[in-house]
Structure 1
């Protein structure tokens, strides 16, 4: 079987949160894992051998996304903002599709969520 996508689904398998192309999904997981290590946060992503993607534990993933968001808001480093933005936007979309949300710090976001609607549109699964 040749895999062409990398689905992210809730751990209870009740909903697919995102179904990107294989390399996109693999790249996202690699970024999330390394960032989680850097911040001391488990990602909540577990490889799913059956589908070839990842199961998402919503409670752990929420803590991961919140922690990375808080890290983003804790600095004004332009380069770090750019690096984290690419991970945070799809994370926030998946989190919200799974029923979660982040506690926002509007003062320190520095335009992070300006493109969130575009991510929501291109990450549709239904």
Structure 2
């Protein structure tokens, strides 16, 4: 008997909300805090947001994403048919976040996970100087 608890996580966009309404009667969904696995409806940005939230909660679980956004290269195609079979047959892969370490001009340090990209916001007109190091190897001394 399969006792896997599934959460349904949907982007607030109308297409994702409409899809969620269609999926709600199919599975006995639980809140994400109680789930073992999740179905995520939305675009790539929403998927990355969901993964970051899992990292922040320290509650990592398998996720099956269905594209209801613009690009969707991280997602499976959206359709209602054979959801259980498609999830069972899905090929699993692990996402290993990079560790981003940042030191501000004032000396404050931050360490954050970076799954897909890192964005920096400058609040002055001064030139930003960046060093890029990956696994202890300097890839770009100054940018």
* TM-score of the pair, normalised by structure 2: 0.25
The structure, 1 or 2, with the larger RCO (C-alpha pairs under 8 Å, 6+ apart) is 1
Structure having the higher Rg: 2
More strand by share: 2
